[in-house]
């Protein structure tokens, strides 16, 4: 079966789970066309991402002017479908998070996408994230393109469901994949009961390279790692406030912030203000192999997020037999179990965060080893990429 994937930006350092999904589908016999709206000039540090970029078509690579010709071609060949899709795009621009001119651009992107899908012979197209990428595949479908589906991750889709017309996208889709039961429940909030049956749970998964890594003993050094984009929702600023409390309590520790992002300067300023230079290190963007090395060099992963879907990095840490310290938000408690394979604490609660950090750092290595093994078994049961891709494969075939 020939299917296409449309992603807003691909490949991307923080979206390795999409690459894993595509490669797993190819292992199951699918022929997959990769299409992204942008991302050809993004900084890449992973060799697999570099390889994926060479296989990807980019809708906006030639600029908006390059979209004019496909628009005119579709208008001339299928005027009725074009004006129907135009009306849909204008409706999507009403009471939206972006004004209607953006939605006319999405329509022009859909026109270009349509020709690529037809040339490839795509039988189905799948998008990730229920934002503009899904609107583009929906408009391509309205222009006569194949049926579409999309994966909803959160939290962005759940922050503004009415402004991205999430219900309309679900209503027109062949099916929708939510990455957790929590995500499915949030879709149920905004979708008519008649459409609930098309919402499926398909977890993000890890490839065998993570599951098959030989067990590495938990280090005795008091090091914790926080992996993720440096941004407000990931809670790194709260982590630094908790670190200041630990310093005041004379707790010995090191925290590695693995990643980069828009608030790096703010984080560096707070590190300097609290005098945490000896305790906190920022790596910047690093490859998947380097992320793995940082996790293995730490006692546990800490992720004090304020909003999430279900972070893949939690799965990665658990697959590497490291317990996780994280918040009671979204789909996280479906995977992390308090006292069994990690610690859960209320989001935004700095004193509780400091307490679980201190508790983890005080635990004997043997306890952390047991928790890490429990984490490994838990994630192996729920997040194997080939198992999850097989669920998607069955859904795709059902549309054929």
With both helix axes pointing from N to C terminus, report the angle between 312-319 and 365-382 in degrees, rounded to the nearest 10.
120
pLDDT average, residue stretch 51-75? 92
Q: In this structure, are 40 and 168 located in the same domain?
A: yes
Q: In this structure, are 191 and 112 located in the same domain?
A: yes
Is residue 107 predicted with pLDDT exceeding 70?
A: yes
Q: In this structure, are 190 and 249 located in the same domain?
A: no
The tens digit of pLDDT for each residue in 163-179 reads 999 999 999 999 999 99
Q: In this structure, are 231 and 364 located in the same domain?
A: yes
Q: In this structure, are 250 and 353 located in the same domain?
A: yes
Q: What is the DSSP string of 157-199?
A: HHHSTTTTTHHHHHHHSSEEEESSHHHHHHHHHHS-GGGGGGE
Q: In this structure, are 29 and 63 located in the same domain?
A: yes
Q: In this structure, are 201 and 126 located in the same domain?
A: yes
Q: In this structure, are 260 and 181 located in the same domain?
A: no
**Residue 210's pLDDT is what?**
65
pLDDT average, residue stretch 36-60? 87
* pTM tops 0.85, yes or no: yes
CB-count exposure of residue 197 (10 Å: 0-12, 13-18, 19+): exposed
- Nearest-CA neighbor of 12 among 117, 112, 121, 153? 153
Q: In this structure, are 167 and 311 located in the same domain?
A: no
Cα separation of 122 and 146, whole Å?
7
**H-type helices in 278-329, by residue range?**
288-296, 312-319
Structural domain count, the chain? 2
**Residue 48's pLDDT is what?**
84
**Residue 97's pLDDT is what?**
85
Q: In this structure, are 220 and 182 located in the same domain?
A: no
Is residue 293 predicted with pLDDT exceeding 90?
A: yes
pLDDT average, residue stretch 15-39? 94
With both helix axes pointing from N to C terminus, report the angle between 68-77 and 100-120 in degrees, rounded to the nearest 10.
70
Q: In this structure, are 392 and 353 located in the same domain?
A: no
The tens digit of pLDDT for each residue in 64-83 reads 788 999 999 999 999 999 99
Q: Domain residues for 190?
A: 2-205+384-399
CATH number at residue 134: 3.40.50.2000
Q: In this structure, are 218 and 168 located in the same domain?
A: no
- Nearest-CA neighbor of 57 among 1, 122, 104, 101? 122
pLDDT average, residue stretch 326-354? 97
């Amino acid at each position: 079966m020939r299917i296409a994937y449309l992603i807003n930006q691909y490949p991307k350092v923080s979206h390795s789970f999409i690459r894993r999904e595509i490669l797993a589908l190819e292992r199951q016999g699918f022929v997959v066309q990769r299409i992204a709206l942008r991302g050809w000039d993004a900084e890449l540090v992973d060799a697999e991402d570099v390889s994926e970029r060479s296989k990807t078509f980019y809708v906006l690579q030639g600029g908006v002017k390059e979209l004019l010709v496909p628009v005119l071609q579709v208008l001339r060949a299928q005027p009725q479908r074009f004006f129907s899709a135009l009306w849909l795009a204008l409706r999507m621009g009403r009471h939206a998070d972006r004004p209607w001119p953006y939605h006319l651009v999405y329509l022009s992107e859909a026109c270009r996408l349509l020709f690529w899908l037809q040339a490839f012979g795509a039988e189905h197209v799948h998008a990730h994230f229920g934002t503009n990428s899904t609107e583009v595949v929906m408009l391509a479908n309205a222009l006569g393109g194949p049926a579409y589906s999309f994966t909803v991750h959160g939290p962005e889709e759940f922050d503004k469901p009415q402004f991205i017309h999430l219900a309309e996208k679900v209503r027109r889709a062949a099916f929708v994949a939510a990455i957790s039961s929590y995500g499915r429940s949030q879709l149920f909030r905004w979708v008519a009961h008649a459409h609930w049956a098309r919402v499926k749970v398909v977890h993000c998964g890890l490839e065998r390279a993570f599951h098959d890594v030989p067990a590495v003993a938990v280090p005795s050094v008091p090091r914790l790692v926080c992996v993720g984009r440096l941004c407000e929702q990931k809670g790194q600023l709260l982590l630094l406030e908790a670190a200041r409390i630990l310093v005041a309590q004379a707790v010995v520790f090191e925290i590695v912030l693995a990643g980069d992002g828009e608030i790096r300067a703010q984080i560096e300023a707070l590190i300097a203000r609290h005098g945490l230079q000896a305790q906190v290190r920022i790596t910047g963007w690093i490859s998947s192999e380097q992320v793995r090395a940082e996790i293995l060099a730490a006692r546990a992963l800490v992720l004090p997020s304020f909003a999430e879907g279900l972070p893949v990095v939690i799965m990665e840490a658990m697959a590497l037999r490291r317990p996780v310290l994280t918040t009671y938000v979204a789909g996280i408690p479906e995977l992390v179990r308090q006292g069994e394979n990690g610690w859960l604490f209320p989001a935004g609660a700095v004193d509780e965060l400091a307490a679980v950090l201190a508790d983890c750092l005080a635990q004997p290595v043997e306890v952390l080893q047991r928790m890490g093994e429990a984490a490994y078994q838990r994630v192996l049961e729920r997040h194997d990429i080939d198992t999850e891709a097989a669920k998607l494969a069955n859904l795709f075939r059902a549309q054929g």
